[in-house]
Amino acid sequence: MKSQTVYDAKGMHWKSIILIFVCQLVLIFNAPVFAQNCPITTAVRTICKQIGNAEVVSVSSPFGAYPKSQPVVYWHDDEWKIDMLPNLTSDGELSMKITPHNGSMKIVNFDAVLFVQVDSITRNQGDGVIVIGEPNGMSSVFSIVDLKLGKIMAGGLLYEPSISPDRRFLLYKNWYLPHVGGENQYVLYDTLKTLEENTCGYGENNPEYKRKSDQIGITQVYPYQANCLEEEGDTDDNNGISNFIWSSDSSKVVFADVKSGIISLILVKMPHDDSDKNLDRDKEHEGDRDRGRDRYNDRPQTLTYKFVGTQNVCAGAATCDSNNVHSIAWNGDSVNVSLVQANSTGPAIVKNLTIPLSKFVPLAK
Partner 1 sequence: MAGSPNGAYNNPGFLTFSNDNPGFLIGLIAISMYDGSSGPQNITDPAGDKCQVIADVTSPTGCTDLGSDGEGGPPPYCVGLGGHWQIFTCSNYTDPSGSLTITPVSPWAYDVSVLAIGGSFSRISAIITDTSDIKNGNVTVNLSAPSGTTGDLMLDFNGSDASGPELAQAPFPALSPGTQTLQLTFDSIDPGIYPMANGTWDANVPGASGVQSVTVPDYTLPTPWTYFRKIFYTQYNVPHESACSGGDADAWLVDTSCNFTKIRLNSAFITAVWTNGTGISEHYGTLKNAAGVKLGSGNGQKCQNKYPSGAIGSTPKLPNGKNGNGNTFEVVSSITGSCNTTLVADQSLAAPSSILSSVQVLSCGDQLNLDDGDYTTASTRTVSDLCPYCSNTSPFNNPTSPMYGADGHIDAFSSNPSCTGKSVGSLGFFYTSYPTN
Q: Which of residues 339-358 bind partner 1 (CB under 8 A)?
A: 342-346, 348
Asked if 224 touches partner 1 (CB under 8 A), the answer is no
Please report how close the Cβ of residue 218 comes to partner 1 at its closest, in angstroms.
6
Other CB atoms within a 10 A radius of the CB of residue 224 amount to 15
Whole-number Å distance between alpha carbons of 259 and 240:
9
Chain-centroid distance, C-alpha 172: 6
Residues 86-115 that bind partner 1 (CB under 8 A): 91-92, 111-114
If DSSP codes are grouped into helix, strand and coil, which group holds residue 15?
helix
Where does this chain touch partner 1 (CB under 8 A) — which range of 17-25, 64-72, 285-293, 301-309?
64-72
Is residue 71 a contact partner of residue 41, using CB atoms and an 8 Å limit? yes
Q: How far is the CB of 250 from partner 1 (least distance, A)?
A: 17
* Dihedral pair phi/psi, residue 42, rounded to 5°: -60, 140
Size of the site for partner 1 (CB under 8 A): 72
1 touches partner 1 (CB under 8 A): no
Min separation Cβ 310 and partner 1, Å: 18
The pattern of x and - marking residues 289 through 328 that bind partner 1 according to CB under 8 A reads ----------------------------xxx-xxx-----
- For partner 1, the closer of residues 2 and 283 by Cβ is 2
Select 48 or 280, whichever has its Cβ closest to partner 1.
48
Query: Smaller CB distance to partner 1: residue 128 or 300?
Result: 128
Cβ burial of 81 (10 Å; 0-12, 13-18, 19+) is middle
Q: Are the beta carbons of 81 and 66 closer than 8 angstroms?
A: no
Residues 131-160 that bind partner 1 (CB under 8 A): 134-139, 141, 143-144, 151-157, 159-160
Q: Which of 204, 230, 273, 290 binds partner 1 (CB under 8 A)?
A: 230
Task: Work out which of 5, 41, 220, 242 binds partner 1, going by CB under 8 A.
Answer: 242
Closest contact distance (angstroms) between CB of 34 and partner 1 is 18
| CB neighbour list of residue 145: distance below 8 Å, 6 or more residues apart | 96, 98, 108, 128, 129, 131, 151, 152, 153
Minimum Å distance from CB 19 to partner 1? 19
CA dist., res. 239 & res. 257, Å (int): 6
Q: Which of residues 180-199 bind partner 1 (CB under 8 A)?
A: 180-182, 184, 195-196
215 binds partner 1 (CB under 8 A): yes
Residue 6 φ then ψ, to 5°? -120, 130
Instruction: Single out the residue of 127, 176, 262, 334 in contact with partner 1 (rule: CB under 8 A).
Output: 176
**Cβ of residue 125: shortest distance to partner 1, in angstroms?**
19
To partner 1, the closest distance from the beta carbon of 162 in angstroms equals: 8
> Which residues, in sequence order, are bridge partners of residue 356?
334
Asked if residue 233 binds partner 1 (CB under 8 A), the reply is no
Mind giving me the DSSP string for 267-314?
EEE-SS-GGGGGGTT-TT-TT-TTTTS-TTT---EEEEEE--GGG-TT
Which residue from 150, 157, 148 is spatially nearest to 111, judged by alpha carbons?
A: 157
